[in-house]
């Protein structure tokens, strides 16, 4: 099923940004060595160090799930536990890849807004030292969260401090970290490594790339031998230059943040346009590029005949509308009109 | 390290074929649903059915290792064993992903030419029924092999018959199946499903694509629920249209076989040009796009200063030279000249 | 740390029942073939069929965790999910063995009394058919539960019917199934296979044995090839006759139920003796051999100087006191006296 | 199938030695804390330190496969490779548990006598540093080997030195280490830790125990957090005192070596008695308690009607005859007579 109309289903329904496509095409000249030993990849690694600081190690990956899972499996042993939100992609949308690949238990903390707090982790530390229990070892947070909300730097630092104190690593699923940075008007480093994150899954795909994900180890010791885990996790692209070219384009000029800003702005505009409608209830703060809303079931069905999007919670008639780098105000106009029509 | 000169290191050092790139660009319009529910993917699936027969199921994957390993893990239980050649990619070049993901034991059969024969499997069937032993369940062959040789259809049928008789599945790693088809002047189906293969890893990447691999289940029962294994194996691309577009281009006209034919022809020409040189010994039949040769160590080193390629067996001074869809006769001329120079 | 006084920590703190020990000794004559091909094992298997019906398959295992995990791994694929109570041994006390061995996600349902209800499972069925989500495949219940409560046969049948309807298997962790049978005054079969259980982990160890666990497949199809999973799960005892002898003793006469009855009775007496004490609150129905109670923290500490037992919930000052086949009324007298002393 | 006659099938066909059984019975008094926090276990750990030196850590396990596999999984990551003999129990008789549990590749080195040499490992070190290849990390040797031969201390030291030099760990499968020590007239420490072994699977079961295996970490750093791996590997016995009691008996007086000596002597006598028979060819040095021999197929079948034993290599008509702590000269007399009869 393809749509001539803009999709509000997911930011990954968008095509590849032209500048990124152009960069891939520019890289499509002549033979280069595979598996990352090429100039495009060297350049992209350099960009990552400019952005995140030189004391990092970075590895390029094919999928967001791959980045999360390979990264987590590398920094854990199977008897460890990974603490995350009950809204986490890790917990809900990776078809059990974390359990299969890491062997770890996932400890899901209830969360209304997709964010977790240190106080919620405390009871689970009781397990530490008892041989019958999986041993908490990693806290994983998502920035921006699956619900479009963002962690303030202070919140991250608090979790990071808590993690460090209890000998836990802090992983950040940054599938939409660009949106969070845009929302907070902070650099990517300020909301990740500088705030205490040990390991970041950095996502380019939802921000206009074709398939470009990276693992950034701020804690470099943890990166030792990761090349083997990447390969064993089936995440090593042979023609690596094409991932690298995507990152080079994203980090050239301000493309990454412009893309994210547009997506965020469009969500904000969408929210503003509908928040006066009495039969719609917006359920989450619109801090990045998602709008979560409850509306009558019939309206949902009617609207879906025209636009594709996902029902987030079928029991609540809650939908998720995502905007992306290529959403325009005209798209919003059309969509809002369709919403109004659907509501009758 | 990038090279202005043609690489003879691997067929994956080549850029993406222009027509494939163009198809990806053509697909880069508007929003479409992710994860395969788009028209490009439907079209590509249709192409696969035209080529391999309508009673197949096909799934698109990101890497060749991913296709092999996810496929094998889906058709085995961890107490099974997978029989393959000691030259198999599965055994040597996937960093243990088969063991990690399937839990199975790999039984490696010695092979001089990369091919295995039923008689070699027989002794391993003694394990069947003994609870202490991994139970043989899959035979995996590579077509064309890692040594550039090809299985004749009769040879495949013989293995397939043997496998069926002993309740084993037959998997084919077809990372270079196009080269095999071109070499044998047979259709893709004739050397896979029609010859008794249950499960094929079909490779596009080494034949001019960017990253396009597929799993073709001829035995459709085995495909049940494979979508979950794909996702759990981190091989589900969100922007699936870009894999599909590559296949659509490969299968449009005769691109797939033209690419393979050129690669094969160039290897043949290379072999012909050097076979008269007394200090070079070609060690494998040149049936597809690889030339394996032994030459003096100093010559290898000297040649490598100019051209990048891999030493295949450091103990024998045996090298592997790969040609690809974009290798030209002029490239061969230059390379042969460099070889002669290196030999002094 | 060993205690001259009776332990109220766990029913596995008790020694082996004399009759069971005697049976092991009786089996300790002459050479027999290992791994289960011996007369003691044949006899024990026959006993299981007398008790559970002849259409079962039974396998002897070394540990309760081993039985649970090997059984569940055999009837699932890694992309499945296993639904259980948040109080389940599976979830809390197996150090992540279920995740590591099965690859599955565990879905923990909140439960005050250790029991789960079909209505709690319903929302999780929404995942079925979506490739991003682990697919629910097994419901696992514990009989008697980790909180000493029991499922009524009707409750089991309801869960079983629900499971069947939704194509889920029903697993029962029967580490204390004898206590449940004694409590309900029903046969072992009536509260397992006859009530719709597909797979039972049958526990002997907590009921007076040394180490005797079994997996009973009521759904015989599921047992196919389980011998390999047992071996691969490191649960195959070479000198199998010694497990078998334990079962032969347990099922000789009525030892199994007498042991369970005594344990249950002692818990009941303990509960009766303390329920009038105002500073103690019994928190769970005493249906089998555990008494859960809240009492002042200082009293807990004081009591522990004399008797060993576990704090169940440190945040609530809730303790767990377990009785066993060898607990006597005199033991209860002494313990109650110590409780009173501790309370001052 | 049980036999009134002595079995020559395996040393695990023997019953439990009376003194060991008595020790278990002596431990069968009163309640003690489970999972190893009891005086029997403390005493057994002390014995291990007396024998192997105080700078070890020891963990008790239920099965030999469990000890091997849990130990190896703890000291490896899934992208590692484990080098062993092609005759290793690890490779042949654990139903793929090593691959399933560790994720590692097993590299099997051809061996006629069950022993491996450093020179055989060298070619496999070529993989080190290449992301496509499993990384060799452990060398595992068996002492005494599966073929009844023994490593001289010098041979072990040579392998250990080689391993250390190449950053590999040395694991020893000591399922029959007592037989090796008896054969070499050396202490257990001299042929394990003192010779450079990092990790030893110490076997009691084949030497007269019921089920008593241990992991001895000479490299204590490697033992960190092993308690979790043991539990997750389903090898933690709740009523631990009964394993510990077996070790206490084995190490009380000289029982362990007396048992081993008797088994070895009986094998030597058996070999001496048959070595003059022209239709029998003894195929391995009889250094411990196994005799490997080739004899006519009909004779094998005839003999098996009376005595149970395993055919080792069906293609060669090679049998394995094992003696044990309880084999007597009279047993040998009867067996030799039966052999002569079978040979006609």
Are A2 and B39 within 8 A, CB to CB?
yes
CA distance C216 to chain B (A): 18
In angstroms, the CA C98 to CA C100 distance is 6
Judging contacts by C-beta atoms under 8 Å, the chain A residues touching residue B4 are 30
Question: What's the helix, strand, coil split of chain B in %, to 5?
Answer: 45, 15, 40
Are C70 and D13 within 8 A, CB to CB?
no
Q: Average pLDDT of chain D?
A: 97
Task: Nearest chain D residue to C97 by CA: give it.
Answer: D232
Q: Tens of pLDDT along A202-251?
A: 999 999 999 999 999 999 999 999 999 999 999 999 999 999 999 999 99
Rounding to the nearest 10 degrees, give the CA dihedral for residues C224, C228, C230, C236. Answer: 130
Q: Residue A175 phi/psi, 5° resolution? A: -55, -30
* 8-state DSSP, B11: G
CA distance A132 to chain C (A): 5
Judging contacts by C-beta atoms under 8 Å, the chain C residues touching residue B231 are 79, 131-132
Confidence band (pLDDT; 50, 70, 90) for D128?
A: very high
Q: Average pLDDT of chain B?
A: 97
Q: What is the mean pLDDT of residues A68-80?
A: 98
Q: Does C225 touch chain B (CB under 8 A)?
A: yes
Confidence band (pLDDT; 50, 70, 90) for D126?
A: very high
CATH classification number, D255-343, choose in 3.40.50.150, 3.30.200.20, 3.90.1150.10, 3.40.605.10: 3.90.1150.10
Are B236 and A65 within 8 A, CB to CB?
yes
In angstroms, the CA B230 to CA B244 distance is 16
Q: Please, are residues C230 and C236 in contact by the beta-carbon 8 Å criterion?
A: yes
Are B37 and A1 within 8 A, CB to CB?
yes
Please report how the helices B241-250 and B18-26 are oriented relative to each other, as an axis angle in degrees rounded to 10: 140
Q: Does A238 touch chain D (CB under 8 A)?
A: no
In angstroms, the CA D338 to CA D328 distance is 15
Q: Tens of pLDDT along A281-328?
A: 999 999 999 999 999 999 999 999 999 999 999 999 999 999 999 999
Confidence band (pLDDT; 50, 70, 90) for A4?
A: low
Q: What is the mean pLDDT of residues D293-299?
A: 97
Q: Please, are residues C176 and C208 in contact by the beta-carbon 8 Å criterion?
A: no
Q: What is the mean pLDDT of residues B264-272?
A: 98
In angstroms, the CA D166 to CA D134 distance is 15
Confidence band (pLDDT; 50, 70, 90) for C235?
A: very high
Q: Which of residues 293-332 of C touch A (CB under 8 A)?
A: 314-315
Q: What percent of chain B has pLDDT over 90?
A: 98
Q: Tens of pLDDT along D172-228?
A: 999 999 999 999 999 999 999 999 999 999 999 999 999 999 999 999 999 999 999
Q: What is the pLDDT of residue A2?
A: 40
Higher pLDDT, D2 or B111: B111
Q: Does B104 touch chain D (CB under 8 A)?
A: yes
Query: Of D232, D237, D240, which to mutate for an interface test with A (greatest number of A Cβ within 10 Å)?
Result: D232
Q: Residue C217 phi/psi, 5° resolution? A: -95, 110
**Domain spans in chain C, listed from the N-terminal domain onward:** 18-250, 255-343
Buried b or exposed e, range A207-228, using 16+ CB within 10 angstroms: bbbbbbbbbbbbbeebbeebbb
Query: Of A63, A91, A95, which to mutate for an interface test with C (greatest number of C Cβ within 10 Å)?
Result: A95
In angstroms, the CA D180 to CA B19 distance is 68
Q: Please, are residues C188 and C178 in contact by the beta-carbon 8 Å criterion?
A: yes
Spatial strand order in the sheet of B105-109: B57-61, B213-217, B199-203, B169-174, B135-142, B80-85, B105-109
Q: What is the pLDDT of residue B4?
A: 67
Q: Please, are residues A67 and A215 in contact by the beta-carbon 8 Å criterion?
A: yes
Are D238 and C205 within 8 A, CB to CB?
yes
Residues 6+ apart with CB under 8 A from B186: B153
Option in B77, B132, B229 nearest C231 (CB): B132
Q: Is the pLDDT of residue C5 over 90?
A: no
DSSP SS3 for D32: strand
Q: Does A99 touch chain B (CB under 8 A)?
A: no
Quick one: three-class SS letters along C30-53? Answer: CCECCCCCCHHHHHHHHHHHHHHC
Confidence band (pLDDT; 50, 70, 90) for B217?
A: very high
Residue A3, both tokens: 């749509």
CA distance B295 to chain A (A): 23
CATH T-level topology, domain D18-250: 3.40.640
Q: Is the pLDDT of residue C3 over 70?
A: no
Q: What is the mean pLDDT of residues A10-27?
A: 97
ipTM here: 0.97
Q: What is the pLDDT of residue B16?
A: 98
In angstroms, the CA D34 to CA D244 distance is 12
Are B35 and C131 within 8 A, CB to CB?
yes
Confidence band (pLDDT; 50, 70, 90) for D5?
A: confident
Are D93 and B126 within 8 A, CB to CB?
no
Q: Which of residues 53-92 of A touch D (CB under 8 A)?
A: 73, 77-79
Element (H, E) at B140: strand B135-142
Q: Please, are residues A142 and A172 in contact by the beta-carbon 8 Å criterion?
A: yes
Q: Please, are residues B100 and D103 in contact by the beta-carbon 8 Å criterion?
A: yes
């Amino acid at each position: 099923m393809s749509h001539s109309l803009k999709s509000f289903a997911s930011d990954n329904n968008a095509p590849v940004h032209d500048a990124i496509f152009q960069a891939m095409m520019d890289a499509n000249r002549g033979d280069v060595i595979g598996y990352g030993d090429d100039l495009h990849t060297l350049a992209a690694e350099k960009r990552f160090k400019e952005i995140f600081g030189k004391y990092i190690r970075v590895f390029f990956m094919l999928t967001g799930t791959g980045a999360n899972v390979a990264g987590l499996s590398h920094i854990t042993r199977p008897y460890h536990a990974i603490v995350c939100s009950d809204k986490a992609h890790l917990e809900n949308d990776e078809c059990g890849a974390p359990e299969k690949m890491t062997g770890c238990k996932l400890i899901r903390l209830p969360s209304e807004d997709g964010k977790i707090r240190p106080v919620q982790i405390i009871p689970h530390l009781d397990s530490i030292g008892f041989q019958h229990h999986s041993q908490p070892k990693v806290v994983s947070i998502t920035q921006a969260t699956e619900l479009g909300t963002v962690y303030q730097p202070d919140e991250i630092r608090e979790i990071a401090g808590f993690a460090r104190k209890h000998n836990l690593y802090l992983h950040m699923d940054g599938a939409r970290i660009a949106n969070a940075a845009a929302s907070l008007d902070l650099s990517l480093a300020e909301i990740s490594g500088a705030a205490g994150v040990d390991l970041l899954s950095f996502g380019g795909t939802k921000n206009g790339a074709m398939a470009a994900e990276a693992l950034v180890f701020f804690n470099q010791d943890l990166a030792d031998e990761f090349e083997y885990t990447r390969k064993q996790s089936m995440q090593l692209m042979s023609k690596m230059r094409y991932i690298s070219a995507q990152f080079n384009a994203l980090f050239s000029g301000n493309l990454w943040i412009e893309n994210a800003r547009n997506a965020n702005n469009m969500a904000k505009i969408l929210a503003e346009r509908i928040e006066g409608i009495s039969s719609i209830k917006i359920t989450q703060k619109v801090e990045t590029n998602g709008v979560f809303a409850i509306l009558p079931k019939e309206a949902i069905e009617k609207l879906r005949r025209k636009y594709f999007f996902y029902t987030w919670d079928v029991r609540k008639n809650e939908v998720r509308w995502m905007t992306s780098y290529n959403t325009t105000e005209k798209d919003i106009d059309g969509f809002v009109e369709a919403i109004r029509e659907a509501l009758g």
